[in-house]
Amino acid sequence: MLRRLLLFFLFSLTLANASNFLTAQQQTQFLQKMTAAAANIKNFKAGFVQQRHLSVLSEPLLSEGICFFEAPDKLRWELTSPYQTVLIYNADRVAKFEMENNRLRKMNFGGGDMMRKVLKQIISWMQGDFNTADGIYDLRIQKGMPVKLELIPKSEKLRQSLRSIQLFVHSTSYRVFRVRIQETDTDYVQIDFKEMAENIELHPALFNTNHPQAVK
């Protein structure tokens, strides 16, 4: 009798957990709505707050910044505090800058090819396109308000340094407002977007990979 009750409990728990996630058909429909909503965005500007949580530290490391996006393939990610750096992706070109004597100085940095792939992938996700992630991640979408998209690496080697990438999406506007990168069971980076402005005038020099415009 006890064994039957235990099996029933475990079966019920499994069903309850499964019901928290969208079915394959529901996932497809949700992603189609994300893509349709993103199609209306020509560009945007948003501030962000980044928290890096490390098990060896009692308090998270905080930084702030601003990002700019212009469809189909331009992204500027700029840290403004506690220090200032700029990362720009423009039509498969990537460049990094740091502020020196009130001027942006271009830096030589390793891993440019990897950074190019990562930024290209992020741009695809921002537009609701997860096809490029299919060979690298398993995608599951958790119901709720907000909706949580979780990308789990398929490769065991990649899972050693990255447990998952979680995108938190408004259930009505289909906009991503939070990203959480789970590195280990306890260490993660969380990015919260704020004050987003869409379809505004952006100067092309913001995305220049040689002489970018500084943000005032």
Average pLDDT over residues 89-116: 83
Domains of the chain with CATH codes: 42-207 (2.50.20.10)
Of 125-129, 147-151, 154-158, the poorest mean pLDDT is in 125-129
| 46-75: pLDDT as tens digits | 999 999 999 999 999 999 999 999 998 999
User: Exposed/middle/buried for 200, CB within 10 Å: 0-12, 13-18, 19+?
Assistant: exposed
Nearest Cα neighbor of 81 from 63, 104, 105 is 63
**CA separation (Å) from 4 to 7, 10, 11, 17, 103?**
5, 10, 10, 20, 71
Q: Is the pLDDT of residue 186 over 90?
A: yes
Contact 212, 104 (CB under 8 A): yes
| 5-15: pLDDT as tens digits | 444 434 444 44
